[in-house]
């Protein structure tokens, strides 16, 4: 008969082996990526892969910030009495409306219930998601995969302009420039402003109109469809739209999140393509 002490040691040993095996299985499962989800049509050099993996999380964070604001608006849409009559969140709503260029004092304490809901809906048309693939494609085009001087030195990945003294740097090879290339403290701050510009700028009304149509059809905003509303982003017009779509089709993986996890995990095992 086995001694109690030996039995305890055996049980402990078995428990450790089982735990290790389960952990190993879990690790392999988490790191087993589908090649069809993370591959690209065009072969990417290492620095391009690195750009995608580094840039994508900041694009996600920018959208998460927007979607938190959007969720708040949706919650407040049916809370007319508390917001207007009791003035709860009224200042918050007006600040958000002003931030998104809907005007000052957009919501008043004398507004009717139907007008209140209508104005919330109008604000929701601006406080909305910009697909990460569209963000990534434009960043790739405008910054040359992050290699441009303005991307490297002042975190401007989208060619965003500014017009006040000290707001950025003058563009190269432009005689008597009337604008500067805006300087940002971080890459994330630049993405935040780019997304805000698409959501508020008059020139991008068509993009927002396409997004509204998709929302009304209960469809999530699609990168290539929204790209068609960006003809005024570049002097190239329709050619620029074709370039955005080409980047999305050929140089971005189907699943950006899976690609980023795969790349940052050191390119672990791939599962066979389905």
Write out the chain's pLDDT in tens, 274 residues: 555 445 444 444 444 443 444 444 444 445 678 899 999 999 999 999 999 999 999 999 999 999 999 999 999 999 999 999 898 899 999 999 999 999 999 999 999 999 999 999 999 999 999 999 999 999 999 999 999 999 999 999 999 999 999 999 999 888 889 999 999 999 999 999 999 999 999 999 999 999 999 999 999 999 999 999 999 999 999 999 999 999 999 999 999 999 999 999 886 666 654 4
Distances (CA, A) of 104 to 99, 100, 101, 200, 262: 9, 10, 8, 15, 46
Domain that holds residue 72: 46-124
Q: How many domains does the chain have?
A: 1
**Distance from CA of residue 237 to its chain's centroid?**
23
Of 69, 255, 220, 260, the C-alpha closest to 130 is 220
93, part of any domain:
yes
103, part of any domain:
yes
Cα separation of 211 and 130, whole Å?
Answer: 9
58, part of any domain:
yes
181, part of any domain:
no
Residue 192 has which token pair? 């935040």
Q: How many other C-beta atoms can be found within 10 angstroms of the C-beta atom of residue 58? A: 19
Q: Please state the pTM of the whole predicted model.
A: 0.86
Cα separation of 20 and 26, whole Å?
Answer: 10
Alpha helical stretches, state H, 31-89: 35-38, 46-77, 80
Residue 182, beta-bridge partner list? 168
Cα separation of 112 and 128, whole Å?
Answer: 25
Helix (H, G, I), strand (E, B) or coil at 254: coil
- Backbone φ, ψ for residue 110 (5° rounding): -115, 5
250, part of any domain:
no
Give Cβ neighbours of residue 68 (< 8 Å, ≥ 6 apart). Answer: none
236, part of any domain:
no
The pLDDT value given to residue 3: 54
2, part of any domain:
no
92, part of any domain:
yes
Of 111, 83, 78, 81, the C-alpha closest to 96 is 83
- Backbone φ, ψ for residue 34 (5° rounding): -85, 120
């Amino acid at each position: 008969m086995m001694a109690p002490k030996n039995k305890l040691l055996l049980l402990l040993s078995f428990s450790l082996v089982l735990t290790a095996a389960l952990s190993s299985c879990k690790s392999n499962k988490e790191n087993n990526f589908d090649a069809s989800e993370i591959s690209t049509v065009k072969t990417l050099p290492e620095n391009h892969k690195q750009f995608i993996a580094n840039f994508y999380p900041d694009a996600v964070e920018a959208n998460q910030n927007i979607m938190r604001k959007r969720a708040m608006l949706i919650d407040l849409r049916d809370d007319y009495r508390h917001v207007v009559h009791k003035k709860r969140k009224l200042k918050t709503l007006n600040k958000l409306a002003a931030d998104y260029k809907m005007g000052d004092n957009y919501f008043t304490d004398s507004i009717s219930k139907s007008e209140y809901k209508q104005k919330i809906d109008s604000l929701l048309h601006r406080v909305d998601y910009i697909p990460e693939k569209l963000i990534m494609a434009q960043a790739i085009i405008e910054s040359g995969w992050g290699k441009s001087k303005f991307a490297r030195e002042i975190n401007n990945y989208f060619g965003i302009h500014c017009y006040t003294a000290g707001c950025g740097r003058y563009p190269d090879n432009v005689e008597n420039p009337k604008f500067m290339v805006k300087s940002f403290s971080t890459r994330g701050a630049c993405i935040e402003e780019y997304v805000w510009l698409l959501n508020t700028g008059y020139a991008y009304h068509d993009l927002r109109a396409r997004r509204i149509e998709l929302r009304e059809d209960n469809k999530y905003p699609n990168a290539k469809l929204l790209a068609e509303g960006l003809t005024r982003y570049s002097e190239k017009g329709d050619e620029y739209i074709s370039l955005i779509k080409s980047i999305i089709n050929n140089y971005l993986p189907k699943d950006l999140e899976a690609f980023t996890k795969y790349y940052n995990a050191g390119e672990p095992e791939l599962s066979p393509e389905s």
